[in-house]
Amino acid sequence: MSTDRTTEHDSGDFDVVVLGEVLVEVSTDAPFDDGVEARLGVSGDAFNVAAAAAAAGARVGLVAVLGEDELGDAVRRRVEELGIAPDLLRRRPGQQGVYFVHGDPDGEREFAYVRAHSVGSTLSPEDLDLPVLKRAGAVVASGITCALSESAEAAVHAAAEVAERFVLDPNHRPRLSSVDDARRRLRDLAPSAWLVTPSHPGETAELLDATSAAEGARSLVDLGARHVAVTCGADGVHLLEGGVEQWIPAIPAHRVVDQTGAGDAFLGSVAARSVLGDPLPEAVRWGVAAASLAVGGRGGTGVVPTPDQIRAHLQHEDPHSEGGRA
Ligand SMILES: Nc1ncnc2c1ncn2[C@@H]1O[C@H](COP(=O)(O)OP(=O)(O)O)[C@@H](O)[C@H]1O
Ligand SMILES: [Mg+2]
């Protein structure tokens, strides 16, 4: 565990700062029904991204609003447990956002959200410490963060404006926003983005009218993004870096338990490794390895691989050796 790291520094400087909402997950093995047993977890795309970035060795801050009740306390404990600095968390009265999921790795997943008007969606520009965001190596936000509320979208814009490297995951969720709104957000934010990470074929088709990953990447560069990493599920990543295209294949997963959160593990790892000095293609390779291991765990942080496990997986060695946070 790297919880010490969060107290070691007091300079207020972060390698990676992530903006979003942390959700409590209630997962069941059986379809939703009265009497079905459930398990609590802490999740949400921003939280998963922050966890992956911290595991990759970055000093990570999470800008999110938690309630003042026991659920907020539980979320904060898990944040610290994963080595994410709690300094940028905000607490105020309100209802913790929750979602229910019935996960079946081979079949359909059922989701039900209880997040409308949640305390997390009250995120606003007033919650930002702009000098801290300005000094951060990278600032990460997603389409989900923008879709929480108007004030959350304003916060993302304010953060993107001051960030040295603004990283945007379009993360389109039809239950949270319309395609038109998601497209507008992408057009608005792409010009500020150092890196955008859309998924193919879902987001490239729906948000960019692209029929290939390469076409999706080029249209984001046309919109003003500096670099684009199009994630193509179990196949790999199409990277467009400063006009140069390259294909970075996925590493076959030893075990697939839950593929949700693969994109989050990828994104957090890429943001962290690039801020820590890796050239982008190398950071993407690291992200591909981290995501391939992360799909072996349940939920976004069921398996958060350590750097040693990731290096081993990159060299096709046994990734399950030891030391991971399972
Ligand atoms: N089943 C899998 N096996 C190995 N790697 C995977 C698998 N699924 C996803 N990945 C890796 O994670 C990255 C992100 O996954 P993807 O499904 O495209 O993102 P998202 O979760 O945003 O939809 C992929 O580019 C790939 O490198
Ligand atoms: Mg994605």
pLDDT at 6 over 70: no
Nearest CA to ligand 1 atom 24: 233
What is d(CA 31, CA 108) in angstroms, rounded to the nearest whole number?
10
**Do 51 and 301 contact (CB within 8 A), yes or no?**
yes
What average pLDDT score do residues 53-71 get?
Answer: 97
Nearest CA to ligand 1 atom 2: 234
- pLDDT at position 1 is 38
pTM as predicted: 0.93
Determine whether the shortest distance from the Cβ of 196 to ligand 1 is under 6 A: no
Which of 100-114, 133-147, 187-201 shows the lowest per-residue confidence on average (mean pLDDT)? 100-114
Closest listed residue to residue 46, CA positions, set 75, 5, 4, 9:
75
CA 235 to ligand 1: nearest atom: 26
Q: Which residue has the higher pLDDT, 105 or 213?
A: 213
Q: Which residue has the higher pLDDT, 74 or 5?
A: 74
Q: Taking the mean position of all CA atoms in its chain, how far away is CA 161?
A: 20
pLDDT at 10 over 70: no
Nearest CA to ligand 1 atom 17: 233
Mean pLDDT, the chain, rounded, equals 92
What average pLDDT score do residues 2-11 get?
Answer: 42
Rg, the chain, Cα only:
18
**Do 98 and 23 contact (CB within 8 A), yes or no?**
yes
**Do 303 and 82 contact (CB within 8 A), yes or no?**
no
Q: How many domains does the chain have?
A: 1
- pLDDT at position 106 is 63
Nearest CA to ligand 1 atom 16: 233
- pLDDT at position 2 is 40
- pLDDT at position 12 is 63
Specify the residue for token string 């294909």: 247
pLDDT at 321 over 60: no
Cα of 264 from ligand 2 centre, angstroms: 7
Spell 191-230 as b/e; 16+ CB within 10 A means b: ebbbbbbbbbbebbbbbbebeebbbbbbbbbebebbbbbb
- pLDDT at position 9 is 41
Nearest CA to ligand 1 atom 1: 234
DSSP H or E segment with residue 241? strand 236-241
Q: Which domain holds residue 239?
A: 13-306
Which of 63-67, 108-112, 135-139, 201-205 shows the lowest per-residue confidence on average (mean pLDDT)? 108-112
Which of 10-14, 242-246, 255-259, 322-326 shows the lowest per-residue confidence on average (mean pLDDT)? 322-326
Q: For residue 208, is it within any domain?
A: yes
* CB under 8 A, 24+ apart: contacts of 177-184: 177/143, 177/146, 177/147, 179/206, 179/207, 181/147, 182/143, 182/147, 182/206, 182/207, 183/207
Q: Helices marked H in the chain — which ranges?
A: 3-8, 45-55, 70-81, 130-135, 143-147, 150-162, 179-189, 202-208, 213-223, 262-275, 280-294, 307-314
Q: Amino acid identity of 299? A: G
Q: Which two tokens stand for residue 54?
A: 């911290």
Indicate which CATH number applies to the domain containing 220. 3.40.1190.20
For the CA of 293, the nearest ligand:
1
pLDDT at 320 over 60: no
Backbone angles phi, psi at 130, to 5 degrees: -60, -40
Q: For residue 2, is it within any domain?
A: no
Q: For residue 5, is it within any domain?
A: no
Determine whether the shortest distance from the Cβ of 296 to ligand 1 is under 6 A: no
For the CA of 231, the nearest ligand:
1
Determine whether the shortest distance from the Cβ of 286 to ligand 1 is under 6 A: no
Mutation test residue for ligand 1: of 230, 264, 292, 301, the one with most atoms within 8 Å of CB? 292
Q: For residue 259, is it within any domain?
A: yes
- pLDDT at position 326 is 37
What is d(CA 176, CA 198) in angstroms, rounded to the nearest whole number?
17
pLDDT range class, residue 110, cuts 50, 70, 90: confident
Determine whether the shortest distance from the Cβ of 257 to ligand 1 is under 6 A: no
Which of 40-49, 170-179, 246-255, 311-320 shows the lowest per-residue confidence on average (mean pLDDT)? 311-320
Cα of 36 from ligand 2 centre, angstroms: 30
Q: For residue 321, is it within any domain?
A: no
Q: For residue 261, is it within any domain?
A: yes
Q: Following DSSP, what letter does each residue of 252-284 receive, concatenated?
A: PPS--S--TTHHHHHHHHHHHHHHTT--HHHHH
